[in-house]
Structure 1
Amino acid sequence: MKTIIEMTNIKKSYKMGDNILEVLKGIDLSITEGEFVAILGPSGSGKSTIMNIMGCIDAKSQGKYLLDGKNIENFSEDELAIVRNDKIGFVFQKFNLLPRLSTLNNVEMPILLRGGSSKEAKTKAKVYLDMVGLGDRMHHKPIELSGGQQQRVAIARALVGEPELILADEPTGNLDQTSGKEIMALFKKLNDEGNTIVMITHDEKIASQAKRVIRIVDGLIEPSFIL
């Protein structure tokens, strides 16, 4: 199995006036193709910062980060945007769907952004909406869907570009218990089909459903907790 993510001594700090806030204090972490990994930690532990660095949304302060074997440190913003769209599918807690567009149009976006044709985008979007059980809701707008359904649309959008990595940030955080269970069942199914998933969560019950759990405490991995 090839390594999708390799982090070596990753540090991240922010300047707050005259003070330096250390968020990540030296993270060593590798994730291989086909894994389902949960990164678990309380608010402020640094877990979302790790995801942002993995997803090329934020830059590390120190250390080495390889994504699919490539060092992205010197990539331009345009090159990073291409990486984000081609290699990574994002699922956010607040869904981040465009409210004026139909579910079909929302799911089409990654294909259109990479220069695909309208026909290709529509065809693939329909396939992935069917996969998440929303083929009959493709012309509905987000406001017409439940929270669980909106998250399914967000997952279809993350998958439509067939990325090598799915990053999910608190994907059940805004959902009721039943919808949360449905989303986790969907993630397990996707992982069983070969998708590599990294999930950020503060919920131990949610984290325990991944195949590997890594706990972050005060910007460091807690060694005794790596499963």
Structure 2
Amino acid sequence: MNESLINLTNLNKSYKMGSYELEVLKEINLSINKGEYVAIFGPSGSGKSTIMNILGCIDTKSSGKYFLNGENIDKKNEDELAVIRNREIGFVFQKFNLISKFDVLYNVQLPLLIKGLKKSETKMIATKYIEKVDLLDRINHRPTELSGGQQQRVAIARALICNPEIILADEPTGNLDTHSGDEILKLFESLHKEGKTIIVITHDEHVASYANRIIRLRDGVIESDEYKSY
């Protein structure tokens, strides 16, 4: 029996714009099990970035319920949410978000250094994850000395280093050429086979096609939720 990881119930999100209220998400009901590979797919303005920010505990909902690993996210304070973001969710963004003055090794070490681990210990762990994304030969290079695909692999190694249950990726191939993008998607496939829960936010049909389940958003509502047939 699959174990539920994420549960959204009657979730709504709106933003006040003066006297006007903009509804971005409307009555979202969604359950994601551990180990799933899910694409949340939709055009610009569909609400997919908002749902990503809520899933990643970056933003809060307006109403409804969000349970992550059985815990009610509403009852968490900002410090507790920061711990969840650090331990349970590995973020991968379109713009990589690497620090240009630091080399690959230090960029990947950073989440563990922030947690207070010793530098020697974090170096050993970071090296393991850099090897996992096949970048040992670039370990002392800075981001500006890497291709876009290599930078995204560094970002994935950094996302993995705290051993999170969930990889939450926002348009992860958006800044990459087709070949580099496919390499990143194959890396997600291998992580999924290892048991990671992968959630990819995308407007690209090709990116979505790698997932085992595609949730289509349009105008803030779930239009369809389909599993890939084999």
TM-score range, shorter chain: over 0.9
Give the letter aligned to residue 184 of structure 1.
L
Q: How far apart, CA to CA, are the structure 1 residues paired with 2:118 and 2:55?
A: 29
| Alignment deviations for residues 24-49 of structure 1 (CA, whole Å, 9 cap, x no partner) | 01111111111100000001100111
| Alignment deviations for residues 60-115 of structure 1 (CA, whole Å, 9 cap, x no partner) | 00000001110121222111111100110000000001111111101011111122
Aligned residue number for residue 124 of structure 2: 123
- Is it true that 1:24 corresponds to 2:25 in the alignment? yes
* TM-fit CA distance, 1:54: 0.4
Aligned residue number for residue 212 of structure 2: 211
Instruction: Name structure 1 gaps, 5 residues minimum.
Output: none
Q: How far apart, CA to CA, are the structure 2 residues paired with 1:175 and 1:82?
A: 31
- Is it true that 1:56 corresponds to 2:57 in the alignment? yes
- Percent identical pairs in the alignment equals 61
* TM-fit CA distance, 1:226: 2.5
CA contact (8 A) 1:82 1:114 kept: no
Q: How far apart, CA to CA, are the structure 2 residues paired with 1:114 and 1:30?
A: 30
CA contact (8 A) 1:172 1:180 kept: yes
- Is it true that 1:93 corresponds to 2:94 in the alignment? yes
CA contact (8 A) 1:13 1:20 kept: yes
Any runs of at least 4 consecutive aligned residues in structure 1 with deviations exceeding 2 A, and if so which? none
Q: How far apart, CA to CA, are the structure 2 residues paired with 1:100 and 1:74?
A: 38
Q: How far apart, CA to CA, are the structure 2 residues paired with 1:20 and 1:105?
A: 43
Q: TM-score, normalised by structure 1?
A: 0.97
Aligned residue number for residue 226 of structure 1: 226
Instruction: Name structure 2 gaps, 5 residues minimum.
Output: none
* TM-fit CA distance, 1:179: 0.3
Aligned residue number for residue 84 of structure 1: 85
Q: How far apart, CA to CA, are the structure 1 residues paired with 2:5 and 2:100?
A: 33
How many residues of Structure 1 are paired with residues of Structure 2 in the alignment?
226
* TM-fit CA distance, 1:180: 0.5
Q: How far apart, CA to CA, are the structure 2 residues paired with 1:117 and 1:28?
A: 42
Q: TM-score, normalised by structure 2?
A: 0.96
Aligned residue number for residue 168 of structure 1: 169
